[in-house]
Amino acid sequence: MSDRRTTTRTVALRTHALRTLVGPALALLLVAACSGGGAPILANPTAARPPVPAASIGPSRAPDPITVVLPRDDRPHDRLTEWWYYTGHLRDSSGGTWGFELVIFRAERGQFPVTWASHLALTDETGGRFLYDQRGEIGPQVDQAARAGDGYALAITGLNPLAGLMPGLAPATPGASGASTAPMTPWVMGGLSGQDRLSADSAAAGGFGLALQLAPTKGPALHDNDGYVDFGPAGGSYYYSRTRMTAAGTVRVGARTLEVQGLAWFDHQWGDFIAVGGGWDWYAVNLDDGTDITLSLVRDSAGGYPLVYGTLVEAGGTVRRLDRSAFTVTPLGTWQSPRTGLAYPAGWVVALPGEGLAIELRPSVADQELDTRATTGVVYWEGSQVVRATRDGRALTGQAYVELTGYGEPTGR
């Protein structure tokens, strides 16, 4: 694995899309809230610290890497950056198909309170619509682990508990920055060993949401063999996935509530790392022969790809690491956002010659861009794909999600 670990000194540090940028942005969310104004986060002067209890100094920690133990490590960790990330594909009883994303980010920065953000997205693949919303929250109350037994439980209400402590603090619009003083129905995720529950509902775009029960069909995949990705002098990240989970429940769009079933993918990543550099492309593919593949292509600030790797999970659950020589990814076109002006690749051919695989990915809906500058400081594209593939000449279908970050500075707000 030296091809990866010796080339990450100034890379956009990540083993999985936008997530590594979220830590600094979340820390700045607190500063923005304390400023009492509505200016962009980075435009606000540094504010006096709010009167919150100082973090206690815990026992010394063993040096990384330490063994990943599940289900213990489903829970939050006292690390700089962490996220729990679900994407998936659903079908309703009338044959309509849907993609979804639900993620919660967690960040610790010095003596500031722990900060959180959450993104919810629903792709109406049949109707050609993309809906999304976002929330932010400050404080330890998001972690509901005491109620979860051996599992984990997170609940984002968008409530800012510091509002009453800071005279003149202006609450933001719920669903925009997520720093509200009015209670909202929480966005919830949690479970035990992959027996997970997701629930989130938004008033944005006429109203949409989801409520799903998930169950794994394979064991967890520890990336980079042991579940720890070493970034060298820039830190490191623990990283595992449940690549194929059954999903059942409902989606809501406006006044319609639809029974759905399908598949989901779960990523959990945490560590003492902060992003620097360019951006990344992340691919998660479920083929109908039971093969699951994830690929990460990380760019540096000069546009090179010093960090390229992947993981393949066989139908029987065997996990294999893929280095950069095992695959190629060829873009087929571009799409430009009418709101931000950013241009993203759109459509790819993924080839894994050693597996006899050629996979074509096409976005199910062209516009699946999320402007989350209010909560995480970034704009990114993440969306469901139409999959056509062959293995040794035999046709396959499947499902996939792709995430794209770092494609320039947006021109609009």
pTM, whole model, 2 decimals?
Answer: 0.85
- Residues 124 and 351: their CA atoms lie apart, in Å, by 28
Give whole-number Cα distances, 23 to 17, 127, 273, 352, in Å: 13, 35, 9, 33
What are the pLDDT tens digits along the chain (413 aa)?
A: 434 433 332 233 333 333 433 433 443 444 433 333 332 222 233 333 334 334 444 445 788 899 999 999 999 999 999 999 999 999 999 999 999 999 999 999 888 999 999 999 999 999 999 999 999 999 999 999 866 667 899 999 987 555 544 443 333 333 443 334 455 799 999 999 999 999 999 999 999 999 999 999 999 999 999 999 877 666 789 999 999 999 999 999 999 999 999 999 999 999 988 765 688 899 999 999 999 999 999 888 888 888 888 999 999 999 999 999 999 999 999 999 999 999 999 999 999 999 999 999 999 999 999 999 999 999 999 999 999 999 999 999 999 999 999 999 998 66
SS3 of the chain: helix, strand, coil, percent, to 5: 10, 45, 40
In what helix (H) or strand (E) does residue 12 lie, and over which residues does it extend?
none
Between vectors from CA 127 to CA 288 and to CA 401, what angle results, nearest 5°?
Answer: 40
Tell me the domains of the chain and their CATH numbers. Answer: 2-46+73-405 (2.40.370.10)
Backbone angles phi, psi at 326, to 5 degrees: -85, -10
